[in-house]
Amino acid sequence: MPQNARAEAGVSTLDSDEDLVARCREQRDEAAFAELVRRYRDRVFRLALSILGQGFAGEAEEVTQEVMLRVHHSLASFRGEATFGSWIYRIAFNQAVNLKARVRYRAPHVSDEALASVASHEASPHDRLQAARRSEALHECVAELPEVYQSALRLFYWMGVSVAEVAALLDVPENTVKSYLHRARQLLHAMLHDRGFHE
Amino acid sequence: MNEQENVDQWLRDAMSGSTPRLSAAFDARLEKRLRPRRLTPTGRILMAAYVLAAILVSAWALRNAALDWTVVAAVLMASAVAATFYGRRIKASAR
């Protein structure tokens, strides 16, 4: 919604989520709902994408749309025990995990562009090939990790999201995110070692 | 470099590709899905005609079954109440 339209509808970017939710529930205020969508759509999309992985942008967008529809239909039952953010992220996480179970048969896709960008840092053709293979193996290993580890890794490394924001998206403390990342790196190191990739 | 630093660097290299963004049509598509679907004026006339025809045919069939007008009226009223009740439930669950 453009800024002028928001102002006309009496919705401000300064309104808290709680105020907007109350207006949606009590007055069925569509402008307030549009503002909530504007605030959360990109974060929900990133969270869904972090669970589904690279090559699943279309599915992540589908999840984002379903989450917004579900929120719109269920706002009346939202009791405010958790923050609106935690509630919407939980819905998004579950929705993305459910969709992932349905599309699991699809192999994880790593674009040629991504592989080329990895390879270009290395000097010799052998090193470039090794780096590209390691990158592919790394993506496969990441896909074998528990969902929260995968999500934390992709948010942090792929999307450049800060630890604080990863914590908010996964609804866990920051130290837990740091622990997820640390544990995930340990597991990846062991998995890559088993596949014959050494330093 | 220890193992954490190695994997950290490999992850940074492997995940250096661009991140997709929501398509520009997202808001328009969502708005379309949120908009309540209403019948067109022609659709409403057709629906009203169908309901009226259904009532008349039902009344005629019930009368042919040698039922009293009171029973016919009660059956039709009960059907109308049930249809209204389920219609509201369907509408509420779709919200």
pLDDT at A102: 83
Q: Smallest Cα–Cα separation from B8: which of A129, A182, A178?
A: A182
Q: Is the pLDDT of residue A83 over 70?
A: yes
Provide the shortest C-alpha distance from residue B12 to chain A (in Å).
6
Q: pTM to 2 decimals?
A: 0.72
CA distances from A41 to A65, A157, A187 (A): 8, 21, 32
Containing structural domain, residue B27: 3-94
Domain A112-194 falls in which CATH fold?
A: Arc Repressor Mutant, subunit A (1.10.10)
Q: Which of A49, A168, A64, A167 is nearest to A100 (CA)?
A: A49
Asked if A108 and A139 touch (Cβ cutoff 8 Å), the reply is yes
Q: In 3D, which of A63, A70, A68 has the Cα closest to residue A95?
A: A63
Q: What angle do CA A58, A63, A64 make, to 5 degrees?
A: 95
CA angle, A131 as apex, A128 and A132 as ends, to 5°?
A: 85
CA A105 to CA A107: how far, in whole Å?
6
Beta-carbon separation of A131 and B13 below 8 A: yes
Say whether pLDDT at A79 is over 90.
no
Q: What is the CA radius of gyration of chain B?
A: 30
Distance between A114 CA and the closest CA of chain B, angstroms: 5
Contact A188, A174 (CB under 8 A): no
- CA A149, distance to chain mean position in Å, is 12
Q: Is A114 exposed, middle or buried (0-12, 13-18, 19+ CB in 10 A)?
A: buried
User: Is pLDDT of B22 > 80?
Assistant: yes
Please answer whether residues A64 and A48 qualify as being in contact, where contact means their C-beta atoms are separated by less than 8 angstroms: yes
Tokens of A36: 């909530």
* Nearest residue of A to residue B16, measured between CA atoms: A158
Mean pLDDT of chain A: 84
Q: How many CB pairs under 8 A join A and B?
A: 90
Name the nearest CA neighbour of A40 among A80, A79, A91.
A91
The CATH code of domain A14-102 reads: 1.10.1740.10
- Asked if pLDDT for residue A105 goes beyond 60, the answer is no
* Dihedral of alpha carbons A81, A85, A88, A92, sign: negative
Spatial distance between the Cα atoms of A24 and A136, rounded to a whole number of angstroms: 46
User: How many domains does chain B fold into?
Assistant: 1
**Residue-range domain boundaries for chain A:** 14-102, 112-194
pLDDT in tens, A7-44: 556 667 678 888 899 888 888 888 899 999 999 999 99
Mutate: best of A133, A135, A151, partner B, most B CBs <10 A: A135
8 Å CB contact of B20 and A49: yes
Q: What percent of chain B has pLDDT over 90?
A: 33
